[in-house]
Amino acid sequence: MISKELLKPILSWPKEGKLPICVACDVGGSGTFVRLSSFFDEKKYIDLPKLQTQRASDLVRALYTVSTDLKSVSPDVETRGSSLSVAGPISDNTVIFTNWPGHISRRTLSLNDLPDFLFPKDRSKFLNDTESTAYGLLEVDKLGMINDYFVKLFPETSPKGGPVNERRTAVLSVGTGLGCSLIVQTPLFNRFVVCPTELGHLELPICGHRSADYQFETSLVNHISSRLYDGELAIEFEDITSGKGLCNVYQYLVWKNNNKMLPVSTLEGAEIARLAKTKEDPLAYQALVIFNQMIVRAAKTISTTMNCDSVILASDNQVDNYHIIRDNNEIMKNEFYSYIRPDWMKTITIFTQTKKMNFNLYGTSHIAHKLANDKK
């Protein structure tokens, strides 16, 4: 049950016969965040306490509870537009969550399953989670706050400019996977367009055979390929730059250094990151350095191939791991600028998040309001 005191500010929002609102949801791996905002003023909003959800039935039940509690505070409420940020493939208004455990039946959700009161059928939409992050970055940039959350890496060798470039920006988000969206503006549009991609599934390139890191990278990649693909396929970026990817790297390091093969199923990326931060485990620290180096490699690969002028590393994980990037600046810098076309790298800026912010809620709220206004 949601506290009525928390919901009461809605009663002071502008009315138009009914009390129109928009609903935004960010469905994460461990829970769901919900934002209710005034249809007339997106800056008037209430963020509800985190809903504990790890399967579709949990989410449906929780949102029906929100619906009931909201009606009890104000029966005049009318939802004009809604949007949900989700991780997983979306088809025919149905999503299969990839950041929830269990059988596919537990992880499948349709818009039709949700309460009509909060999710009107013709004005509700699922958004790819990295797509919603990109829209959220645009909204926070409009508010003039984006520089409060990001720092430019390697400023001594980077061109001027903020995180969101006027032409093309890549947004990378590391979590249970590696998400990537593009923010694009061309002469054909008077606005930015967000394009969700699957670039996190690009095959991961390794350094050349004369590099000092060649033997190590070859051994690491072969280890992961053997475990995941019977050694027949190249690995993808996400096999390292994700929660499970960090476990893959740590498993390899323990095996190489201690001749002990830990089952990945017994490892947790968050625990490895904690051990690295406290420096309790040197192998955990090394694993997190490699993990972040490969994120920078992904940023380099994606920003060059997609002809971007800036690339943003945006996620809570980036905030938590900033100490690794900061304390291993030369490794990260050498990684970013080691490229067959060095002149290209001089035109690209790279930013990493240093302060937590739920950009997804800003992005989904923006889309909810757009859906509401398009149907006026």
Buried b (16+ CB within 10 A) or exposed e, 103-125: eeeebbbebebbbebbbbeebbb
Report CA 311 to chain centroid distance, whole Å.
14
**Mind listing the pLDDT tens digit for each residue in 272-321?**
999 999 999 999 999 999 999 999 999 999 999 999 999 999 999 999 99
**Mind listing the pLDDT tens digit for each residue in 226-244?**
999 999 999 999 999 999 9
Q: What is the pTM of this model?
A: 0.92
**Helices 243-258 + 269-278 axis angle, to 10:** 60
Say if strands 150-152 and 108-110 run parallel, antiparallel, or are unpaired. Answer: unpaired
Number of H-type helices and E-type strands within the chain? 12, 14
Q: 200 vs 27, 116, 184, 239, 302, CA distance in Å?
A: 20, 34, 18, 9, 9
Rg value, the chain, Cα: 22
User: In the CATH hierarchy, which top-level class contains the domain 200-353?
Assistant: alpha beta
Does the pLDDT at position 187 exceed 70?
A: yes
Does the pLDDT at position 376 exceed 70?
A: no
- DSSP helix/strand/coil, 69: helix
The arrangement of secondary structure in 4-134+359-373, i.e. its CATH architecture, is 2-Layer Sandwich (3.30)
Residues in the chain, overall count: 376
The structural domains of the chain, with segments of one domain joined by +, span 4-134+359-373, 200-353
Decide: 97 and 87 in contact? Cβ < 8 Å: yes
Decide: 169 and 308 in contact? Cβ < 8 Å: yes
The reply to whether domains 4-134+359-373 and 200-353 share a CATH topology is no
